[in-house]
Structure formats: C-alpha cells, structure tokens
Structure 1
Amino acid sequence: MAKKEDLDLDVEGKGKKSSKSKLIVILLVGILVLGGGGGAAWYFLVMKGDASAQDVDADMEDVEQPVVRKKKRRKSNEPPLFTGLDPAFVVSFKDQSHARFMQLSVELMSRDPEVIEAVDQYKPMLRNNLLLLFSSQKYEDVITREGKEKLLEQSLEEVNRTLADEAGMDGVEAVYFTAFVAQ
C-alpha cells in the first residue's frame, strides 16, 4: 500500500509540475506576444510615424477643406507681369471732426500668365474684397509708412485668398500702390 500512496503522490506531483510548466509556458508566450506587439507598435509609430502622420494630415486636409491647386512659384529670372485694378479705389473714413477719404491705385504682380488671367477674370470680386478691406482702415493708421506697408501685406493676403477660393490658385507675388492719397 505504501507503494500505491507513493504512486499517488508522484502522480499528484507530476500534475503540479505540469500545471506549473503550463503556466510558465503560457506566461512566456504572453510576454513574447505583448513584446512583439509593442515592438511592432514602436516600429510603426516611431520609425514610420512621421511619413504616416503627414499622409494622414494631408488626407484630413483634403476632406475638411476644398482642394486648392496652388501654383508653383516661378523662378525669379522670369519677367514680372503687372495688371491694374482700375479705376482707383476711393473710400471714406469715419471721423467726428473732418470728412476724410482715401484714394488708391493698385497694381498686382505675378510671374505667371495664368495668375494674371485669373486676376482679370475675378477682378470684380477682388475689387469688392479690397474695397471692404480699405474701408475698414483708420486714417491714423494709413498715413504712416508702417501703416501703408501693413495695408500692402493685408491686400496681398486678401487677393491670394480670394483667388484660392474662387480660381483654385494663388500666385500674386506683390501688391503695389501706384497712387495713394489720404486726407
């Protein structure tokens, strides 16, 4: 009978050892799977994440905003092309003591003939948006050189924004005031 008990103990011992072995194997496999998944995640996020993130950002921009075909800037050795937004702009200022007004002539410059054609096509919209911009100015701001330069920058942004919205391109490189009177 002692032998039978020894056998039972051995069977129970083997069972405990095999269950411990199974547990260890399961833990090792789990660690390898988690480690492999973590390594793969690290690889795709860190090593390829920059390109993937840029692709996702570009895709999201296409979804959220209308597609705008931007013209590439031409080399500076190509001659500039000019077009005027005639007639001259005339706007008045609100001032309590004096009637004040501003008159400006505006020329746009690009090196791309297609942009000049788009400016001519959308000239009424461009004039409207610039007229709104000019009429929102304060007399005290536009009589200084810094104020005029700031107005030039705002005008360039407005022109390119309007062309991008309407024609699907921008490319006006500069706005010039060829006549400027503020009284």
Structure 2
Amino acid sequence: MSDTKDKPAKKGNGLVIKLVVGLVLVGAGGGTAYGLMAAGIIGGGKAEARETGPQLIRKGEEDPYAPPAGKGKEEGVAMVHGDGGNEFRTAYYTFGEDFTSNLKNSGGLVQLSLAASTRRDGRVLMWMNEHELAIRSRILVELADTPEEEAYSPEGKQALQKRLTAAINEVLTEQEGFGGVDNVYFRSFIVQ
C-alpha cells in the first residue's frame, strides 16, 4: 500500500515543476523579446523610420537642422515664422538662377525663377542645396514636357507646380530617401 501513496505525491510534484519551468521559459522569452524591441532590433520599424526622416517643425520650436544665424540667405534659404494659419513654420528655398527651356512641340520658350517650401526641418533645405544640380536637371525635363497652351493658362500653371513639386521630391527621395517639399512657387514666369 505504501507504493500507491508515493505515486500521487510524485505526480503532483512533477506538475508543479513543469509549471515553474514553463513560467520561467515564458518569462525569459518575454524578457528577450522586450530587450530586442528596446534595442530596435525587432518591431517598431515604422516608428524608427518616422523618427529618422525630416520632422514637421511647429512655430516656435527649435529646428536642430536650421542653418546658423546669418547663414543661409546666400544659399537661398528663408525661414518664415508667421502667426497665422498653419501651426507649422514654413521654410523657403530659392533657386539662385532662372530656368529657361523650350516648350513641348512648340517654338516657344519659358523662362522662370522658382522657390520651394517645406514645413519640415532644415535637412530638406540642406538636401535641396546639396542636390541642386540634379533637381535643376529634373525641372528642365518637366519644363520641356510642358505644352505651350498649358504655360498660358492658370490651370496649366497649377498643374506644372504640382509636377515640379513631385519632380523635386523624386530627386530628393532618390538621393536622400525622403522628399519633404510641400510646394513650388513661381517668382517669375515668362513665355516667349
């Protein structure tokens, strides 16, 4: 009879041991997963990509990538911190030289000067300055693909603005992995 009394006691102890070992393994697995997430090795990839790209800058916030005081105007950079409208500050990049191009299927020419705006941090402005040659080339391609009648109408000019904005963002994305230009503005626009 003593044999039967010992067997149930062993089964109960085995169950407790299995539960303790299982809890330790689950705890170790959870701790490992937490450590890998905290280190950025797993999970959070989208949040990390959002943190590394140029961030929107609210009015009154410091831009860690803004050009130092007094620098930037010679590079065509202007910061605007108005009180109205949007909660984000706008920074402008002015291209130093005009653009001149023939128009699509026409003997006409277009000459214009441009500026571009961003509400993101100063990296977008730095990248525009750094890759201005590639951006200028891409803009000239877009201008050469513009029909003359489109260059005369307000709707055509608005469509051209959108195409130029997309073109600049494509170049910046190819070069830096992020666009960031919100709009393009015509400072002058002449069709001959």
Output the TM-score relative to the length of structure 2: 0.55
SS of the residue 1:133 aligns to: helix
Alignment partner of 1:156 is 2:165: yes
The corresponding residue for 1:102 is 110
Which ranges in structure 1 are unaligned for 5 or more consecutive residues?
Answer: 1-58, 60-66
Is the CA contact 2:118–2:183 (under 8 Å) kept in the aligned structure 1? yes
The corresponding residue for 1:34 is none
Question: How many pairs does the alignment contain?
Answer: 118
Larger RCO: Structure 1 or Structure 2 (Cα < 8 Å, ≥ 6 residues apart)? 1
SS of the residue 1:129 aligns to: helix
- Over the matched positions of the two proteins, sequence identity in percent amounts to 22
Alignment partner of 1:71 is 2:54: yes
TM-superposed deviation, 1:79: 2.9
Output the TM-score relative to the length of structure 1: 0.57
**Moved beyond 2 Å, runs of 4+:** 67-79, 93-96
The corresponding residue for 1:127 is 136
2:175 aligned to which of 159, 162, 166: 166
Partner Cα distance (1:165, 1:94) in 2: 26
Deviations 1:23-76 (CA, angstroms, capped at 9, x unpaired): xxxxxxxxxxxxxxxxxxxxxxxxxxxxxxxxxxxx9xxxxxxx9964343344
Return the structure number with greater helix share: 1
2:152 aligned to which of 125, 140, 143: 143
Q: Larger C-alpha radius of gyration, 1 or 2?
A: 1
Is the CA contact 2:104–2:145 (under 8 Å) kept in the aligned structure 1? no
Is the CA contact 1:83–1:109 (under 8 Å) kept in the aligned structure 2? yes
Paired letter, 1:81: A
Deviations 1:119-164 (CA, angstroms, capped at 9, x unpaired): 0000000000000110111101111000000000011111111101
